[in-house]
Chains A and B, each alone.
Chain A
């Protein structure tokens, strides 16, 4: 019985955690400008994330140590500084974008400008981290995040031509705006495969005391959960394709994205969209803030746990306090949330080699994983993901320049 509850909870966590500011924005832009054509990229991103989460979760469950812990010990502090600094910068930008997502949703709901919401949103997030436990943060946001299922309802109600949707699962080259197409492809991958996701996941496995007995839960959470979560992102693309693309609307502002669900669901659709944006971005705000604190604490060996009173892990608590407040500042001074989101997704994509390639070594270390090392299938997938990350590293910034406008 407990096992089933854990499995269900794991799936819910992944579904509820999948959609956030990046995936909503990039999926909506992709659907508006290229119809279903970029769906295959979303599928690649979702599968990559599922594999990476399964691996970092397995590593944590078998060794009782987090991915960051292994990264520092296996590669030494000199190498470790590279992923540390890069992930800190990139995650901070994504975090600021999430605060922007919540703030924009609140602006559209209340009419009060988004700049005014950034600091209150950060303080509310901080209060939850200060008082709440890991379970509250993880499960609370996941269960509330299920409101995102509304996109699946919206997609079905618009009666898409499912044959065309399925056909878009195969890669195809664009007939127009090639730079823009590949730029959006990079953004989608950056939005699906954020390093904070697997840092948070592997720290969570240790927070929850996972052991080898949780390997099934791990596989189901990473696999099924992400497939369902990715399905929701696909639904966003489908809705955007049918609502925007057919009318020739290009998405340049969050206000436009909010009309996504107005056509299938009417006024309630707008309200549900705002609720989804607000809740999922708020959940991600908490997760990214914690991930940054985990990264520093585990990298330098400080005491860390979201379940301890702040006095017991003062440096950890200090980091999340400073980080969440600082992340509100760009939005509070009026930086455009959508532009910030797009930039952070590109940079995330470019940063991936630093967190993905080391897994090739770690996941094949028999001393650490014993019989649970990668098999030929997971190694094959990991090699492909690593190659993809290298392509993204080279291509992301040039494409941002060519197709980001």
Chain B
């Protein structure tokens, strides 16, 4: 039996959505605990705050400071249900659409408000677009 080692094969791995677009890395893994059932792997967590917790106190403080300065209200963490995982290979493929995920918030905001206002940036809405 070839088991999947959570720390070795899942934690910190690249995540891609069902269209093979990169949606971040597995910053943390959440277990679900309940009274009368064994614990199970519930979700992969992606986002600055959980990443900061793993790095250390200075990163947590920095993350708080940045969120205060940027007036970020949403919690900045994306939960990807473990049930959505389809394949664990070079990257972890999840059966979700990357668009609209919390983790893409910064990317989408930058694309809309900065990058696409510069001529020659292409269109953020079309499919894969190569130069």
Whether, in the assembled complex, A315 has its beta carbon less than 8 Å from a beta carbon of chain B, the answer is yes
Given contacts A78-B56, A309-B130, A310-B122, contact A303 B11 (CB under 8 A): no
Contact residues, A307-331 vs B (CB, 8 A): 307-312, 314-315, 317-318
Chain A interface residue count, Cβ-Cβ cutoff 8 angstroms: 30
| Chain A CB within 10 A, most for which of B12, B90, B124 | B12
Closest chain A residue to B116, Cβ basis: A311
Whether B110 sits at the interface, judged by CB under 8 Å, is yes
Question: A-B contact count, CB below 8 Å?
Answer: 95
Interface footprint category on B:
35 or more
Interface: A219 (CB within 8 A): no
List B residues 44-95 near A (Cβ within 8 Å).
Answer: 46, 51, 54-56, 59, 90
Q: Is B4 an interface residue (CB 8 A)?
A: no
Q: Which residues on B sit within 8 Å (CB–CB) of A69?
A: 14
Chain A contact residues: over half helix, strand or loop, or mixed? helix
How far apart are the CA atoms of A72 and B13 in the complex, in Å?
8
Interface pair B129/A77, CB less than 8 Å apart: no
Chain B 113-131 interface mask (CB, 8 Å, partner A; 1/0): 0111010111110001111
Q: Mark B22-38, 1 if CB is under 8 A from A, else 0.
A: 11110100000000000
For the complex, give the distance between the alpha carbons of A63 and B114 in Å.
34
Taking A300-B24, A309-B130, A310-B115 as contacts, is the C-beta distance between A315 and B110 under 8 angstroms?
A: yes
Task: Report B's interface with A, CB cutoff 8 A.
Answer: 11-15, 21-25, 27, 46, 51, 54-56, 59, 90, 106-108, 110-111, 114-116, 118, 120-124, 128-131
Known: A72-B25, A302-B22, A312-B128. 6 other contacts (CB 8 A): A69-B14, A76-B12, A77-B54, A77-B55, A81-B59, A307-B131
- Some 20 contacts from A to B, beta carbons below 8 A apart, are A73-B11, A76-B11, A77-B25, A77-B51, A130-B118, A301-B25, A302-B22, A302-B107, A303-B21, A307-B131, A308-B129, A310-B121, A311-B111, A311-B122, A311-B124, A314-B110, A314-B115, A314-B124, A315-B106, A317-B121
